Every structure is written in C-alpha cells, then in structure tokens.
C-alpha cells in the first residue's frame, strides 16, 4: 500500500497536466461491476469502472470508497491496491496517474446516481445528468470482448477475469 501512496505523491508534482485518480474493480459473487459513461459527457458511451479524482484531503483508499458510493450507491469492503497505471483518456488533455483497487461490494443493488459535479449546472426544471447510463456485472472475458473502453482498462480487466 505504501508504494501506491508514494507513487501518487511523486507523480503529483509532474505539473498541472497530471491528476491523481482511482478506479475500483468491484466484485460481488464472482462478477465485476462495469459502468457506461453517460451520453453528453466526456468518454460518452464507453464502459468504465467506478472512480474519480482523489481530493487533497483524502487517501486513495478513502477516495475509492467515496467515488464508488457517489456513483453507484454501493458500500464496499476489503479495499486493496491492485496496480497503478498512467492513463491519457482520448477526451481529456490531462494524464491521470490512476490507482486501481480491488474490493468487494456488500450487495449488488446498484443505483446510478447523478454526478455531484454537474448537478448544479442544470436549471431547476431539468433533471440532473447522471455520470453513467448503464451498468453490468460481468464474469468472463467474453462478456467484455466487444465493449468499447480504454485499452489500459481493458488490459487490466482481462488479467482479472476468467
């Protein structure tokens, strides 16, 4: 765990085009959760893992717990660092030093929440936009073979799935 945290601290000083982020490989009953980015938002239509940026006052572990809760309403446990990858999403000008964590969901009751970052951008008569429009629990590599997602993410998932 200390190696992940040290890496995040070291890479945070690379410049303003670098950001620390986390992704969660959430497991429940031998299946893993993937979420689809909502249309009209960066990365629209791509499959992803729950996650987001690490706030200045939190550890990567706390960030992954917060992000999973904010995006899916799931409580997670057994949070463990898995790997760290530098990711440059095609829709972004920043390079994200992303720490991947494995964890277990306490249940499979996913409720895709609206994004706290875009909630205030909409007038009161409009519904807030969700960050994700769909989710799936996948077990096998074949479940994901044709799904559009970042190559770095697909590579990590292919190593984890049967």
pLDDT digits (tens, 9 = 90+) for 17-31: 445 889 999 999 989
User: What integer is the mean pLDDT of 91-106?
Assistant: 83
User: What integer is the mean pLDDT of 94-106?
Assistant: 87
User: What integer is the mean pLDDT of 123-137?
Assistant: 69
Superfamily of domain 2-160: Nucleoside Triphosphate Pyrophosphohydrolase (3.90.79.10)
pLDDT grade, residue 129 (50/70/90)? low
What are the extents of the domains in the chain? 2-160
Give residue 136's Cα distance to chain centre.
14
Residue 43 backbone class (left: φ over 0; alpha: ψ -120 to 50; beta: rest): left
pTM across the whole model: 0.76
- Output the six-digit token pair for 12: 């945070």
Taking the C-alpha atoms of residue 124 and residue 37, their distance in angstroms, rounded to an integer, is 23
Give DSSP secondary structure letters for the chain: -HHHHHHHHHHGGG-TTEEEEEEEEEEETTEEEEEEEPTTSTTTT-EE-SEEEPPTTS-HHHHHHHHHHHHH---EEEEEEEEEEEE--TT-SSEEEEEEEEEEES-----PPBPTTTGGGS-TTSPPPBSEEEEEEE-SHHHHTT----HHHHHHHHHH--
Taking the C-alpha atoms of residue 9 and residue 59, their distance in angstroms, rounded to an integer, is 11
Rounded to 5°, angle at Cα 83 from 161 and 72: 65
- The answer on pLDDT for 125 being more than 80 is no
- In 3D, which of 132, 143, 148, 27 has the Cα closest to residue 76? 27
pLDDT at residue 33 in the model: 93
Give residue 18's Cα distance to chain centre.
17
């Amino acid at each position: 765990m200390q190696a992940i945290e040290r890496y995040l601290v070291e890479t945070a000083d690379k410049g303003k085009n670098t950001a620390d982020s986390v992704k969660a490989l959430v497991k429940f009953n031998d299946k893993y959760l993937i979420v689809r980015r909502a249309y009209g938002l960066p990365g629209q239509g791509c499959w992803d893992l729950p996650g987001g940026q690490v706030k200045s006052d939190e550890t990567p572990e706390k960030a992954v717990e917060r992000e999973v809760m904010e995006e899916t309403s799931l409580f997670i446990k057994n949070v463990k660092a898995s790997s760290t990858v530098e990711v440059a999403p095609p829709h972004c000008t920043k390079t994200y030093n992303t720490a991947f964590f494995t964890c277990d969901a306490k249940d499979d009751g996913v409720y895709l929440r609206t994004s706290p970052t875009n909630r205030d951008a909409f007038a009161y008569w409009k519904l807030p936009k969700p960050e994700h429009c769909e989710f799936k629990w996948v077990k096998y590599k074949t479940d994901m073979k044709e799904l559009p997602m970042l190559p770095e993410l697909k590579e990590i998932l292919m190593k984890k799935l049967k």
